[in-house]
Structure 1
Amino acid sequence: MKKFGILIGIVLVCLCFSSFLVNADIETKKISLNGSTSMEKMINALKEGMDDQYPELLIEPQFTGSSAGIEAVFSGTAQIGNSSRYLKDTEKEKGLIENIVAIDAIVIVTDKHNQVNNLTTQQLIDIYKGKIRNWKEVGGQDLPIVVIGRESGSGTRSAFEEILELEEQCQYANEVNESGPIIAKAQSIPGAIGYVSLDVVDESVKTLAINGVKANETTIQNGQYSLQRPFVMATQGEISKQNEEVQKLFQFIASEDGQKIIRAVGLVPTTNEMSY
């Protein structure tokens, strides 16, 4: 009986060791991504969704900002650079390929007690330029406007300012490094206004319509909602020239399961823009 117990113990040890070797082999197949903090929710959801279909892949994302992600691809420290803005011509000239995997809306948020429900594009521009400084000027209560934005180098900030042609003109009271603090400040500071990705919006803040249009999948797809930008997964060279692991990631994104995940996090998928 004792010998039988010892035998069972040896078998279990062998199984555990075999499992360890299999897992070690799986972990060698890594995909490194770096970039936009706005894309964190989507990337983590895709990572989780791929676990069953591609257990041999280990996705290693970092979220340090769009420009940092692009530089990481150039330097070879990341295989994919996540950017929440279109690539610049200078970046494309260096061989970077703009693989657009989703379209995101930039949503304007305020505190829930704000009486304003809608802004025109020009009113929004004037608020961020500092020309409109009180909510009563746009039909709200007599309350100073506290303008919040992202830090320099943020893809969200670049896209917001480019869409509204506001580069180097915004009068920010606060600049923050992530979307979360913008939500927190919009929630807690009376009169605050900020911009964030649609997929990070929660019930703690109020979202404003732009020109009478609210952001949703339909208004983003048909172009009615004007504040929208791409989610780019940039590669050095076309997808077809990447290694097998990176190609599998993009194949999953283009699959039915991948499209469902992108929709589930509040984005609009666009696989037609990927360079297979």
Structure 2
Amino acid sequence: MKKNRIIFALFGSLLLLSGCAKWIDRGESVTAVGSSALQPLVETVAEDFQTNNPGKFINVQGGGSGTGLSQVQSGAVEIGNSDLFAEEKNGIDADKLVDHKVAVVGIAPIVNKNIGIKNISLDDLRKVFLGEVTNWKELGGADQAIVILNRAAGSGTRSTFEKWVLDGETAIKSQEQDSSGMVRQIVADTPGAISYTAFSYINEDVATLTVDNIAPTDENVTTNAWKIWAYEHMYTKGEPADLTKEFLDYILSEDIQEKIVGELGYIPVSKMQVERDWQGKLVEK
């Protein structure tokens, strides 16, 4: 009798695995990998989508924009999330990918609350990250050594920050983190610390700096008064189909753009008063 139960259990497991294989073959599961700045939005929309579409699953992972682009290009995942245009990333053939801009994200310098300044010039911000200014007292703040924290290489947030603040130069070697959430936590806990993160990750644990007296706000991003921003891209290898297309259509729907995108600290693309190409040049909207 025990032997029969074991055989029956094994047979049941095989049927379950077979069913799973058919479920996967039907395209009922999609994986989106990449940008941690975009991750909270995609995760939230994925949960909403799954609630409204039982039996359909969206697997969302981070890893950075470089990972997202390389994974979707190789065909390992259906969607590559990126803060960068594919054209900006070495080793990526943008001609093979299709760009779906789902939002805009502002990026701001964040600091430990006790550094003693609230505004910084763009030139001084550049000097801080290039290691030319090393103490906050040089900028009128506390007598406290500046502790720089960078996102890891491959991060779209880092690339955007270096593009618009450092004129494409690379920040000095410092502690690096893959996660935007971890960056925020370390800055909050470390005296003298400075880093940068998407608006969607900013909370009361850290302070933001205005740059040349311009505040990092959604409104200033939409007019390009605040220039440190990027599109949030969801790339596919070729035109999307089946569940991938269904999910992308869902995240781009007017209802989701109005209700979820803005609530999570992102800016709907439709609200932008300007448009930039992959080289950063303003183009007619």
Does the TM-score normalized on the shorter chain lie above 0.5?
Answer: yes
- Match of residue 122 from structure 1: 123
The answer to whether the Cα contact below 8 Å between 1:112 and 1:187 also exists between their aligned partners in 2 is yes
Deviations 1:103-137 (A, max 9, x none): 11111111112211011111110111111111122
> Which structure has the larger Rg over C-alpha atoms?
1
Deviation at 1:168, TM superposition (A): 4.7
User: C-alpha separation between the residues in 2 aligned to 1:257 and 1:112?
Assistant: 37
Distance 1:141 1:261, change over 3 A: same
User: C-alpha separation between the residues in 2 aligned to 1:252 and 1:169?
Assistant: 37
> In angstroms, what is the RMSD of aligned CA positions?
2.3
Deviations 1:68-94 (A, max 9, x none): 111111111111100012222663544
- Match of residue 63 from structure 1: 62
- Match of residue 107 from structure 1: 108
SS of match in other structure, 1:163: helix
Q: Is structure 2 residue 254 aligned with structure 1 residue 256?
A: yes
Distance 1:194 1:270, change over 3 A: same
Deviations 1:10-33 (A, max 9, x none): xxxxxxxxxxx9xx9599511111
Count how many residue pairs are aligned between Structure 1 and Structure 2.
Answer: 249
- Match of residue 97 from structure 2: 96
The answer to whether the Cα contact below 8 Å between 1:101 and 1:231 also exists between their aligned partners in 2 is yes
User: C-alpha separation between the residues in 1 aligned to 2:173 and 2:110?
Assistant: 15
SS of match in other structure, 1:88: helix
Aligned residue identity for 1:78: V
User: C-alpha separation between the residues in 2 aligned to 1:75 and 1:109?
Assistant: 35
The answer to whether the Cα contact below 8 Å between 2:81 and 2:234 also exists between their aligned partners in 1 is yes
Distance 1:57 1:163, change over 3 A: same
- Match of residue 163 from structure 1: 164
User: C-alpha separation between the residues in 1 aligned to 2:221 and 2:65?
Assistant: 22
- Match of residue 137 from structure 2: 136
- Match of residue 244 from structure 1: 242
User: C-alpha separation between the residues in 2 aligned to 1:129 and 1:77?
Assistant: 36
SS of match in other structure, 1:219: helix
Distance 1:114 1:100, change over 3 A: same
The answer to whether the Cα contact below 8 Å between 1:148 and 1:172 also exists between their aligned partners in 2 is no
- Match of residue 267 from structure 1: 266
The answer to whether the Cα contact below 8 Å between 2:145 and 2:192 also exists between their aligned partners in 1 is yes
* Structure 1, unpaired ranges of 5+: 1-20
SS of match in other structure, 2:220: helix
User: C-alpha separation between the residues in 1 aligned to 2:83 and 2:34?
Assistant: 9
Deviations 1:148-189 (A, max 9, x none): 101111111111111224545311431112112211221111
The answer to whether the Cα contact below 8 Å between 1:110 and 1:186 also exists between their aligned partners in 2 is yes
- Match of residue 150 from structure 1: 151
The answer to whether the Cα contact below 8 Å between 2:27 and 2:242 also exists between their aligned partners in 1 is no
The answer to whether the Cα contact below 8 Å between 1:99 and 1:233 also exists between their aligned partners in 2 is yes
SS of match in other structure, 2:49: helix
The answer to whether the Cα contact below 8 Å between 1:49 and 1:261 also exists between their aligned partners in 2 is no
TM norm structure 2: 0.80
User: C-alpha separation between the residues in 2 aligned to 1:28 and 1:103?
Assistant: 29
- Match of residue 6 from structure 1: none
User: C-alpha separation between the residues in 1 aligned to 2:76 and 2:102?
Assistant: 22
Q: Is structure 2 residue 227 aligned with structure 1 residue 226?
A: yes
Distance 1:114 1:92, change over 3 A: same
Q: Is structure 2 residue 180 aligned with structure 1 residue 182?
A: no
Distance 1:169 1:33, change over 3 A: closer
- Match of residue 18 from structure 1: none
SS of match in other structure, 1:78: coil
